[in-house]
Amino acid sequence: MPEDINRKLEEVLRNLENIKRRVKRVRDTLVKKSREM
């Protein structure tokens, strides 16, 4: 696979992994808030 496509693909995959991490953060915040109430 040409390098430019590989680079783009890796970038997209990295971003998707970031979304997963962010969602975990959202989940933790929501749970925390829910228990505070």
Partner 1 sequence: MLTKYLRDAIDKALDKVSGEAGWIYAEPAFEELVKSLDNETLELLASSWMPRTLRSRPSEAVEHVVEKLAKVLLLAVDILEKSGVDLHRVDWVAIDWRTALEELADIDPRNTAAMARKIAGLAAEQAAVPLTDVDRGLEASIDVMSEQVSQQIDMLSQLLRDISDGLEELRRHRVPTYEMLRERFLKAVEAVAERGEKAAEKVEEAHETAFAGEMAEAVKMLREAVGDLKKAVEDVKRLAEEVAKGVEEARKEKRVEAPIKVYGETAAENIYLERILIDFTALGGGYDPVSGEFLAPLTAIWSLAKRNYGAYPDLFRAIKMWLALNRALYNRVFGFSWGFIRIDENEPEWLSRAEQIHSIAMRKSPDVMDMLRDIEREADVPRYLYSLLDGAIYRATRTAYGVIKGEPVPVKELEKIAREVARAPWLKTVAVWISPPIGRPYIVELTIPSTDYLKKAIKGVCQICGASRFSEKELYSPAAASWAYRSVLTCENCLTNYVIYADGSIEVQIPTRDTELWRGLWERNPMKDPTKPFAAKWIDNAEKLRGRGWRITSIT
Contacts to partner 1 by CB under 8 A: 1, 3, 5-6, 8-9, 11-13, 15-20, 22-27, 29-31, 33-35, 37
- Kindly state the smallest distance separating residue 30's Cβ from partner 1, in Å: 5
- Block residue for tokens 């109430």: 37
CB of residue 23 to partner 1, shortest distance in Å? 4
What is the rounded CA–CA span in Å between residue 7 and residue 14?
Answer: 11
User: Which tokens in the block code for residue 32?
Assistant: 């925390």
What is the smallest separation between the CB atom of 6 and partner 1, expressed in angstroms? 7
CA 4 – CA 14 distance, rounded (Å) = 15
